[in-house]
Structure 1
Amino acid sequence: MTRVRTVRTPEGSRLEVSNVLSVPATDAWEAIVDTTLWPEWSPVVLGVEATDRRIRTGTTGRVRLPGVWVPFRITSCADRRWTWRVTEIPAAGHRVDDLGDDRCRIAFELPLHQAGYAPISLRSLENLEAILEDGKPAVR
């Protein structure tokens, strides 16, 4: 079940794009904090160089987007939720909610000024679902 709604986060109002998956929350969390997997599920991240393979608060690096490398910094990473700044601009938060019975919700929290990124977030969620539930490679 995919949904898009406005939510209140520690960073203020955000547009939340989420999907419920039939996988344990721990599996989903590992997929979104492992920088080597980002290009597998994100349709715009083509490469990653990071100080840590598994992100934590303070991890820095750069991501390759179509045509350009841009710097990032993880600003928080706790309780199955992480946030970051890309080129020093607040970017999407990422969260995994444990729903029990090997089900979870993956949510991307978009700053309202980045609402146009919602279709990319939806594709990312579809890719994560294919990887985690079906074991299939991501579709770009």
Structure 2
Amino acid sequence: MTRGSDAARTRTRVERTPDGRRVVVARAVEAPASAAWDVLTDTRTWSAWGPSVSAVRGPDRIGPGATGEVRIAGLGAWVPFEVTAYDDEAMRWTWAVARVPATGHRVDALGDGRCRAAFEVPLLAAAYVPVCRRALSAIARLAERKV
């Protein structure tokens, strides 16, 4: 069960990532890192947590170099995606959507069966932060149900 308000559990700041400086939106999750990672890498859950994704065509689970298409919510248009970096051990992946570098996704273990899920947003896409905050709340709910 989630403790505290979503606002108190989510932080936003600029950090240096493997892809350069990004706006990182992170949220504590009351579930093991493996549960949150499962949610982030299972394409069948993307429309349940991603406000901008209404459907996915592609593999059920992403991995290095995975490709497919996402349907953009509200537009109905299908756009291609490609996983551009994937590290199962570090629990981090990035992608390009319509060949444009997009968000990074990562999970950091915090101990005591908790973790932190995060999006790494390109600086030029900082307006996407509110969407990421909403997605993190949904990711937390889905991961916490797995426990």
**Structure-2-length-normalised TM-score:** 0.88
Cα pair 2:49 2:135 within 8 Å, conserved: yes
1:116 aligns with 2:118: no
Shift of 1:130: 2.0
Distance 2:63 2:141 in 1: 25
- Who is 2:40 aligned against? 32
- Who is 2:57 aligned against? 49
Distance 2:145 2:45 in 1: 16
What percentage of aligned pairs have identical amino acids? 46
Instruction: Give the length in aligned residue pairs.
Output: 134
Distance 2:46 2:143 in 1: 13
Name the SS for the 2:53 alignment partner.
Answer: coil
Distance 1:105 1:129 in 2: 9
Distance 2:119 2:131 in 1: 10
Q: Match for 2:82 among 73, 79, 85?
A: 73
Q: RMSD of the alignment, in Å?
A: 1.0
Name the SS for the 1:91 alignment partner.
Answer: strand
Distance 2:17 2:64 in 1: 17
Name the SS for the 1:13 alignment partner.
Answer: strand
Distance 2:34 2:143 in 1: 11
2:100 is matched by which residue type in structure 1? I
Name the SS for the 2:45 alignment partner.
Answer: helix
The CA deviation string for residues 53-74 of structure 1, in whole angstroms up to 9 with x for no partner, is 1111110010000211111000
Shift of 1:134: 4.8
Unmatched tracts of structure 1, length 5 or more: 136-140
Distance 2:145 2:60 in 1: 24
Unmatched tracts of structure 2, length 5 or more: 1-8
**Structure-1-length-normalised TM-score:** 0.92
